[in-house]
Amino acid sequence: MKLKTLSEKTVKRIEAEYTKYPDKRSVTLPALRIVQEDNAHISESAMADIATLLGLTPIQVYEVATFYSQYNLKPVGKYFIQVCKTLACSLVGAGSIVDYLQEKLGIAVGETTQDGLFTLKLVECLAACGGAPMMQINDRYYEGLNPERVDRILSDLKKYGTSDLATGPFMLPVMQG
Amino acid sequence: MSFASESTLGDGPLKTMSELVTFKVNDIEVSAPKGMLLIEAVKKAGVEIPHFCYHPRLKPDANCRMCLVEIEKMPKLQTACTMPVAEGMVVQTTSDSVVASQNGVMEYLLGNHPLDCPECDQGGECQLQDFGHQHSKLGSRFLEQKRVFPKEYFGPLVEKEMNRCVSCLRCVRYCDEVMGVTALGSFDRGNGTQIGTFAHGELDCEYCGGCIQICPVGALTSRLSMYENRTWQLKKTDTICNYCGDGCSLILEGVKDDITRVSSETGAGRNRGDLCARGFFGYGAINHKDRLSRPRLNTKGRTLEVTWDWAFNKAAEDLKKIVAQHGPDAVGGVISTHCSNEEAYLFQKLMREVIGTPHVDSTARYGYINALSALNEVFGTARLSHYEDIRSADVLLVVGADMAESNPIAGIQVKDAVRAGAQLITLDASSPERDTYYSHLPSLATQHLNIRFGTEQSAIIGLVKALFDKGIASSAPRKLVNQIKKKVAVISFAEIEATTGLTENSYRRAAQTYAGAEHAVMIVGRGVIQSEGGYQNMLRLEELSILAGQVGREGAGILPLASENNAFGVVESGASSEYLPGLKRQEAKPKALTLLEMIDAAAEGKLKALYLVGADPLRNLPQKKVADALSNLDLLICQDLFPTETNAHAHILLPAASFAEKSGHYTNHEGVVQKGHQAIEPVGGAKPDWMIFSILSNKIKEETTLPYFKLVGYRSADEVWKEAVMAMPNDWQQNSKEAISRHVAAYAEHAEIQYALQTPRASNGVMDLQLGQNRYHAGTTSRYAEGLNRLLDCECVVIHPDDAEALQLEEGERVRLSSHLSGASVELPIQLSQKQGRGALFVPEHFGLSVKGLLPLTIDRESKVPYGDRGPVKLSKVAASTQVKG
Amino acid sequence: MTGKELFKKAVFYEILQGLGLTFKHMLFGKTMTEQYPREKPSLPDGWRGAIVQLRYDDGSEKCVGCALCEAACPSHCITVESAEREDMPQKRYSKRYTLDMTRCVFCGFCVQACPVTALASSKEYELATTDKRELIMEMDDLLKLGDKYFPIREKRPQYTEDRFNFFKQNKASGFPVAHVPVVNVPIAKKGAA
């Protein structure tokens, strides 16, 4: 059993999950999460390694990884912008926010800026419909968006790495970074 | 009697449920076994529920939602494919709500389906077409752009057209549930869900073709028969596969005299509709351009094509001349185990009765005769277990067999049993790891006895010895038990461990599991049957099963695996030096010569004429010796499909018909006799073998030249079969409990049991080479199949990645194998495989002749089987300068 | 029988009557005979003459080789052998298309069956020949006839962009061949570029 990509530390973390589940195949989701936390994205060879660890064939891991939009299969920028595209946000103009972001950053949805800072992606409901339209950058929510607020958020992030417009992380467990 | 019976699908849970329940479907009252799925049960009322994801071979998945039906007292519509029938159920399959839901599902599926039915190969047998006509409204409300997937290359034999996919996941489930390979998966989600391989790579799997056959639409189609014919043009013929001993039912499909496709019927035949790469893609050999088409004479250094009449007269005259000059004993004959039972019967009749020579043999002499005669010796029958027994067994012991490679369909039965909870014990030298997308039984085993290369004989002693602690079955004859006990007592576990590398404990555990099982089936493969000491080792295994009480009763038994499709039948029909039809031992005077002895006799000049039917001794025996012997003959008649090295020496070469061009009965390794039907007329000017024997017999017997048609003694293969069955002894298929125990008791009286431990061999830089079957090929005929050649078309050396790493070799690099025994050497590319045992090499036997020359030949004392598949070789890297680019 | 009737019988009155009509048309009527080889009749639309093959505006043949015409033909006069196009993987075309005009009953079922309207009934009716073999028409003959009678061609439907790119890219680089774990990679014959 030879692994190509995963570091020893990642493997240890994955192995620690074994006891929590009835069989090894169930560890696929946490294993993918751990790899994403450690490597920022999940490469194909990392998926093959997970398969080797869990006694699956690579396609079985690939199925899971491509199903969930939360897993990044390509490298993402330092700030990972996920704009909600579900009904509530769409009704109050998520579409125009996306268009604005695309134009401002000069990238299409799913791409990363040249400087490697921003990646833009559309996601389903993030359960903050009260503050629609909204987006999530890394683990922080930004609600009630309009072009001016978006401008401020982006420039804040570029300058300071954080923005005080953030309305707090709602996702549990809290991820680092 | 064990003729192929009706569908054996869905045994297991349903077999035990004999209780009938009565329910109503569309106001028709039907009764069905309790627990049967509704979708199956309503068929009895003549109702068909439309479905896509349901398939009788797979577990219900209920993802397509097409089979929704209305059941009284249930609040919502229910999926018929997951609903077991119950007493008093009232089902509506045509009510308004059902029709509305069916229309809805169809509208969704057709929303994205391209309108390329005229181009699609599935057109005409497509479930989406059929159910679409019945269950959808005209027109679509879907006005948007259809989903389009980019075209992807999906492998040399499978064509993927994702736009046609209805995401029923049948292919994914088949790959996982039946084949246990899991090479296919469904990825992405929602509208973009697609079927594919890891990271959109090329399909790299066993190529069983199951995904193609099970796809309800044209998303996965065969690239080999792509666009050749429309389904309604094809003529379909049931026959039996010609490649290995599994005895699978095939349907050959083609137009006129061409076979363009192979399929199988779900649930039909011994294979229950499953096929392997050889069966599904291997039909190309039938219509290959290299097939012999006209009889040839080799005279005065020239090859002349002649008419059949001339060839028959010449053969008859020459045979008669030799019989007159040297007596009938100067003639010998060998028939291939790919011939049908009728042909084997007729051939031995031609030899024994018409010519009068006892020297008849078949290519079962290369190994399978060991299993047959050893089983016949002890049990009086070789029909001891069937696939049904394997599937219902709770312990399976697989000895020396790589079933996934040699007998994939028998392997599927084992996989099914393991999935149903059976314990699998494997005993061979392969490593328990598997290659990612290739199944390997030891990787599924609960206990894998990973012995050192070639030490099966010693390992069997270990198992027998370990069995004595567990307690011997009461059914075992005392005399036999005592004799064995005495023999194994002198051998210690320490000695066995030194040879096989396995501890006492692992033998004990395996023996305990095997003997403690309710129904255990032992499957014996080539590693025992076709390797040194095969006959004796087979006897030892039989004694093991007698001691454990796992033979001679319902559900338990022994299954020796055959690598040729009719090895059992040819021997049973009498084409063997020691047996008359029905495995009756013959005492001939002078002693009948075996294949090998015939070659020796020919070299000595005692044998003057040899009749080889599909046999190719040059490939299987030392070449120089055979070549000398063949050139020493006064008359060599060969009968074959393709030109081979052997029949290049023939004085008379007769083109024979392949299995698709004749009807005949074939006996698979379970002993099940099945009939194959004629699909096409013989290719070129070939004739079926039985017809050649029949005409030749009459030509030899008749003094005057009668008109041609009068000389054809038998009008059809069926006529021969009727006579052959009459020639069998009354009990030829009998395998009753009483008969077996009677035979075992008789065997115990006269048995002379030898237990000999092999001497452990020092490795000193030498690796062990094993020749064997590759999963994509069988024998040499499969090399002519284009489909199989696309999967593997040249020889290679299989080696474990660890060994390769130690030798600094990479995949595809060329290495030199050399033998210190013969001094010969061969250069081959390497292929890495996890399942290969460390320190051992594997070369598929289907290609070159030269690798055979590296290996020593030993001959079995009892059964005269030549063993030349194993031996030590030296592996060295080929210097980069001499590296040949592929 | 009255005298009048007897008189009519005696002078062959009916024949005179008939001849009278003949002479009336001969002397005073308009000529109705078609001077066929010199003058061609004008045929009504929907005339079912010889079956022809059509092309798209870019000159490529419309036929996709689906053999539905073969299935529809009541006189079994059509034979289609289809194959995959070498330059366009997974594109079906008819490698050989034979229409035996000697057996054709001009029913037009094939025209109705064709899913891509590659077949049409032309107004060709002059099929007389001294060599019957000429009437067993191959694809080229049928296309030639089609060009003659249907000069206005339909526009070729545009392929979806992805697939078109795949074909174009394959034309440049060649269709991928089988990867086999050993060297001496066999070339996939069908569909290989």
What would the pLDDT profile of B573-610 be if each residue is shown by its tens digit? 999 999 998 888 888 777 899 999 999 999 999 999 99
**Residue-by-residue DSSP string for A9-51:** HHHHHHHHHGGGSSSGGGGHHHHHHHHHHHHSS--HHHHHHHH
Q: Give contacts of B 782-801 with C, CB under 8 A.
A: 786, 789-794, 796
Count the domains in chain A: 2
Q: Which residues of B touch A (CB under 8 A)?
A: 181-189, 197-199, 436-437
DSSP state of B683: S
Task: Give B102-119 pLDDT, tens digit per residue.
Answer: 999 999 999 889 888 999
Spatial distance between the Cα atoms of B758 and B501, rounded to a whole number of angstroms: 12
Q: Which residue has the tokens 């064709």?
A: C114
CATH number, position A60: 1.10.10
For residue A39, is it within any domain?
yes
Confidence grade of residue B709 (pLDDT, cut at 50, 70, 90): very low
Q: For B601, list phi and psi in degrees, rounded to 5.
A: -65, -35
Q: Which is nearest to C101 in space by CA: C145, C157, C159?
A: C145
3-class state of residue B446 by DSSP: coil
Does the structure show a pLDDT above 80 at A76?
Answer: yes
Please report the pLDDT score of residue C28 as a whole number. Answer: 87
Q: Which of A77-91, B110-124, B699-713 has the lowest mean pLDDT?
A: B699-713
Please report the pLDDT score of residue C171 as a whole number. Answer: 56
Does the structure show a pLDDT above 80 at C13?
Answer: yes
* CB-CB contact of B243 with B779 (8 Å): yes
Which residues contact residue C58 at a Cβ distance below 8 angstroms, ignoring those fewer than 6 apart? C156
Q: Which of A19-28, B194-203, B394-403, C176-185 has the lowest mean pLDDT?
A: C176-185
A139 and A107 within one domain: yes
Please report the pLDDT score of residue A1 as a whole number. Answer: 61
A144 and A104 within one domain: yes
Does the structure show a pLDDT above 50 at C11?
Answer: yes
How far CA C155 is from CA of B36, B591, C160, C167, in Å, comes to 55, 82, 15, 20
Mean pLDDT, rounded, for C13-31: 89
Which residues contact residue B642 at a Cβ distance below 8 angstroms, ignoring those fewer than 6 apart? B288, B290, B291, B292, B780, B781, B784
* CB-CB contact of C99 with C23 (8 Å): no
Confidence grade of residue B444 (pLDDT, cut at 50, 70, 90): very high
Q: Which domains does chain B have, with CATH numbers?
A: 21-200 (3.10.20.740), 231-285 (2.20.25.90), 296-365+582-727 (3.40.50.740), 386-555 (3.40.228.10), 767-882 (2.40.40.20)
How far CA B526 is from CA of B397, B530, B538, B593, B869, in Å, comes to 14, 5, 11, 24, 10
Please report the pLDDT score of residue B756 as a whole number. Answer: 87
A52 and A94 within one domain: no
Does the structure show a pLDDT above 50 at B9?
Answer: no
- Tokens of residue B438, six digits: 């290739």
Does the structure show a pLDDT above 60 at B716?
Answer: yes
Please report the pLDDT score of residue B17 as a whole number. Answer: 52
Does the structure show a pLDDT above 60 at B659?
Answer: yes
Counted residue by residue, chain B has a size of 886
Q: Which amino acid is at B701?
A: K
* CB-CB contact of B654 with B641 (8 Å): no
Comparing alpha-carbon positions, the chain B residue that sits nearest to C191 is: B223
Does the structure show a pLDDT above 60 at B325?
Answer: yes
- Chains with 3+ CB–CB pairs under 8 A to A are B
Percentage of the residues of chain B whose pLDDT score is greater than 90: 70
Spatial distance between the Cα atoms of C104 and C98, rounded to a whole number of angstroms: 12
Regarding beta strands B68-71 and B78-79, do their DSSP bridges make them parallel or antiparallel, or are they unpaired?
antiparallel
Mean pLDDT, rounded, for B254-266: 92
Mean pLDDT, rounded, for B684-713: 76
- Beta partners for residue C55, in sequence order: C61
For residue A165, is it within any domain?
no
Burial of B881 (0-12, 13-18, 19+ CB in 10 A): exposed
A84 and A142 within one domain: yes
Which residues contact residue B443 at a Cβ distance below 8 angstroms, ignoring those fewer than 6 apart? B432, B433, B434, B835
Please report the pLDDT score of residue B880 as a whole number. Answer: 62
Which chain B residues are within 8 Å of A62, Cβ to Cβ? 185, 187, 198-199
C193 touches chain B (CB under 8 A): no
The verdict on a CB contact (< 8 Å) between B156 and C188 is yes
* CB-CB contact of B569 with B341 (8 Å): yes
Mean pLDDT, rounded, for A41-57: 93
A113 and A84 within one domain: yes
* CATH architecture label of C51-149: 2-Layer Sandwich (3.30)
Percentage of the residues of chain A whose pLDDT score is greater than 90: 63
Does the structure show a pLDDT above 80 at A171?
Answer: no
Mean pLDDT, rounded, for B836-865: 90
> Looking at this predicted complex, what is its ipTM?
0.88
A103 and A63 within one domain: no
Please report the pLDDT score of residue A166 as a whole number. Answer: 84
Cα C52–chain centre separation: 2
Which residues contact residue B628 at a Cβ distance below 8 angstroms, ignoring those fewer than 6 apart? B603
How far CA B79 is from CA of B71, B93, B168, B507, B626, in Å, comes to 10, 11, 14, 49, 66
Task: Give B128-139 pLDDT, tens digit per residue.
Answer: 999 999 998 877
Does the structure show a pLDDT above 60 at B708?
Answer: no
A126 and A88 within one domain: yes
Spatial distance between the Cα atoms of B649 and B636, rounded to a whole number of angstroms: 7
Spatial distance between the Cα atoms of A124 and B286, rounded to a whole number of angstroms: 56
Q: For A52, list phi and psi in degrees, rounded to 5.
A: -60, -45
- Tokens of residue B748, six digits: 């115990």
The whole-model pTM stands at 0.90
Task: Give B494-526 pLDDT, tens digit per residue.
Answer: 999 999 999 999 999 999 999 999 999 999 999
For residue A98, is it within any domain?
yes
Mean pLDDT, rounded, for B263-285: 94
* CB-CB contact of B596 with B562 (8 Å): no
Domain range list for chain C: 51-149
Comparing alpha-carbon positions, the chain B residue that sits nearest to A57 is: B436
The angle that helices B534-548 and B478-489 make with each other, rounded to 10 degrees, is 120
Q: Supply the range of the domain harboring residue A59.
A: 8-67
For chains C and B, tell me whether 3 or more CB atom pairs sit within 8 A of each other: yes
Please report the pLDDT score of residue B886 as a whole number. Answer: 38
Does the structure show a pLDDT above 70 at C179?
Answer: no
Does the structure show a pLDDT above 80 at C182?
Answer: no
Please report the pLDDT score of residue C32 as a whole number. Answer: 79
Which chain C residues are within 8 Å of B793, Cβ to Cβ? 180, 184, 186
Regarding beta strands B635-640 and B609-613, do their DSSP bridges make them parallel or antiparallel, or are they unpaired?
parallel
Which residues contact residue A126 at a Cβ distance below 8 angstroms, ignoring those fewer than 6 apart? A82, A84, A134, A136, A141, A170
Task: Give B116-160 pLDDT, tens digit per residue.
Answer: 899 999 999 999 999 999 998 877 888 877 888 877 888 889 999
Counted residue by residue, chain C has a size of 193
Q: For B181, list phi and psi in degrees, rounded to 5.
A: -100, -40
Regarding beta strands B235-240 and B220-222, do their DSSP bridges make them parallel or antiparallel, or are they unpaired?
unpaired
For residue A171, is it within any domain?
no
The verdict on a CB contact (< 8 Å) between B792 and C64 is no
* CB-CB contact of B672 with B386 (8 Å): yes
- Beta partners for residue B239, in sequence order: B250
Does the structure show a pLDDT above 90 at B879?
Answer: no
Confidence grade of residue C161 (pLDDT, cut at 50, 70, 90): low
B117 touches chain C (CB under 8 A): yes
CATH number, position A134: 3.40.30.10
Dihedral sign from CA coordinates of B734, B739, B741, B747? negative
A110 and A155 within one domain: yes
Average pLDDT for chain B: 90
For chains C and A, tell me whether 3 or more CB atom pairs sit within 8 A of each other: no
* CB-CB contact of A85 with A145 (8 Å): no
Q: Which of A19-23, B263-267, B621-625 has the lowest mean pLDDT?
A: B621-625
Spatial distance between the Cα atoms of A95 and B533, rounded to a whole number of angstroms: 78
DSSP state of B175: I
Rg of chain C over all Cα atoms, to the nearest angstrom: 29
DSSP state of B353: I
Q: Where is pLDDT greater, at B569 or C187?
A: B569
